[in-house]
Structure 1
Amino acid sequence: MNKPLPPKSIVELMQRVECIAGLTLGELAQRYQFKSPEHLLREKGWPGQLLEYVLGASAGSKPVPDFEHLGVELKSLPIDYNGKPLETTYVSIVPLTNLTGAKWEDSTVKKKLNHVLWLPVLAERDIQPVDRTIGSGFLWQPTQTQEALLKRDWEEQIELIALGRVNEISGHLGQVMQIRPKAANSKVTTDAIGPNGKLIKTLPRGFYLKTSFTQSILMQEFSA
């Protein structure tokens, strides 16, 4: 089967989403002849790559929403049997230099979270990756309250980085969004602003949505 083209509209995107609800990742991979890994330890990003491929996401690793021309970001959300998120949700890389005049309104985080297609996947630890079931995807845009929380977490943590205090940031900060190291191993380093304004080497960081926040988004959608 040929690689699916990007959907031309949000309606077409949501039709694709409805077509895959209830399938397992293995069934979906088979249908599209998409290679399945034996173990997800080395292939942690496989479910997301498969879903991006099938739904026709086009952005790749660019700092723009996955469905660039629709302005929609795709986020698969692993959940347990009770419908609770199993892990935090990666949003984007954290800028660690050139932060003078950085504004929430221009941030990659805001661009990515402006309009999200959430795709819950039943991914309890005892279910093999290929047997994990895709749930009902839905579109979400942050409410004013949610955006205010995201903005505050972004601004507080970006300010610490701009002040050269990147090493004081831990996953405990942020009410709805945290910053954590994002690297395959500790040998991968990048430049950051140091305590005296000089550049230091540190681990790359990523913005992650906390599970309590994604849980509230699920409840907002499915208890309505």
Structure 2
Amino acid sequence: MTNTPRPPLSLNELMQRAQDMAGLSLGQLAELHHIRVPTDLKRDKGWIGQLIEHELGAIAGSKPEQDFLHLGVELKTIPVDETGKPMETTYVTVAPLVNIQGLSWQQSLVFHKLQRVLWIPVEGIRSKPVGDRQIGMPILWTPSEQEFAQIRQDWEEIMELIALGKVEQITARHGEVLQLRPKGANSRSLTQSIAADGNIKLTNPRGFYLKIPFTQQILNNYLAGN
């Protein structure tokens, strides 16, 4: 992807770019940047997110920081169905599985990433060609005290299980709004984690994800307020 637009200088500029994008199809946006549209997303899973990042001038890439660090904003594209309901959980960040002694909620990447999120809904209907899928209106979300408390509670419970060497026992059902799931290109990806006896063992990398009902509530609240 060439000629990346410069990062926005202000929150207003970021929101203006995001609003200008709304209503365009992915194909129209890709054409503006001379980017090829894949026939499907099986091999190009992150393509939509990368296209939106490119248009908005996000610079973090895969670094463990907010996409617009200078503005304190994380960018999340969210695939939605015909009714506007999110179609999948939302990846937040990779989960630390070792060296977590003394790690507090305020020091966590989940806390850092979710301070303020720019949600970009995109049609995710799989029967629709990728290029024809429309981009929706942006939503700038700052978690309420109650929302942050829910996320924090789940994070602390999950981290406690990791610290006790129970990472293999954590399922996607743990957590009200935040869940822990394997994160990796395939099941051969391995990373260090804490074993039940306190030693180090190998396991699949894990990531934190926001559950669908939680992100659906965020979208609903925005629609109700507009």
The verdict on a shared fold, with TM-score over 0.5 as the criterion, is yes
Quick one: which amino acid aligns to residue 135 of structure 2? I
Partner of 1:144: 145
Partner of 1:12: 13
How is 1:127-142 mapped onto 2 (pairs within 5 angstroms)? Answer: 127-142=128-143
How is 1:56-95 mapped onto 2 (pairs within 5 angstroms)? Answer: 56-95=57-96
CA separation in 1, counterparts of 2:167 and 2:115?
26
The Cα of 1:37 is off from its aligned counterpart by 1.8
Partner of 2:121: 120
Asked if 1:35 corresponds to 2:36, the answer is yes
Partner of 1:175: 176
- Consecutive unaligned residues in structure 1, runs of 5 or more: none
Quick one: which amino acid aligns to residue 82 of structure 1? T
Per-residue CA deviations over 1:199-220 (Å, capped at 9, x if unaligned) read: 1110000000000000000011
Moved more, 30-39 or 72-81: 30-39
Per-residue CA deviations over 1:57-81 (Å, capped at 9, x if unaligned) read: 0111111110111110000010000
The Cα of 1:125 is off from its aligned counterpart by 1.7
CA separation in 1, counterparts of 2:207 and 2:194?
16
CA separation in 2, counterparts of 1:3 and 1:204?
31
3-state DSSP of counterpart to 2:137: coil
Quick one: which amino acid aligns to residue 3 of structure 1? T
Aligned CA-pair RMSD? 0.9
Partner of 1:53: 54
Per-residue CA deviations over 1:156-187 (Å, capped at 9, x if unaligned) read: 00010011110110000000010000111111
Asked if 1:207 corresponds to 2:208, the answer is yes
3-state DSSP of counterpart to 1:74: strand
CA separation in 1, counterparts of 2:8 and 2:119?
16
- Say whether the 8 Å CA contact 2:39–2:129 is kept in structure 1: no
The Cα of 1:35 is off from its aligned counterpart by 2.8
Partner of 1:110: 111
CA separation in 1, counterparts of 2:215 and 2:4?
30
Per-residue CA deviations over 1:98-132 (Å, capped at 9, x if unaligned) read: 01001110111111100000001111121111111
CA separation in 2, counterparts of 1:35 and 1:191?
38
3-state DSSP of counterpart to 1:133: coil
Partner of 1:162: 163
Moved over 4 A (4+): none
- Consecutive unaligned residues in structure 2, runs of 5 or more: none
- Identity among equivalent pairs (%): 51
Quick one: which amino acid aligns to residue 173 of structure 2? H
CA separation in 2, counterparts of 1:15 and 1:88?
27
CA separation in 1, counterparts of 2:36 and 2:55?
12
Quick one: which amino acid aligns to residue 161 of structure 1? I
The Cα of 1:39 is off from its aligned counterpart by 2.1
Q: How many residues align?
A: 224
Provide TM-score, normalisation by structure 2: 0.97
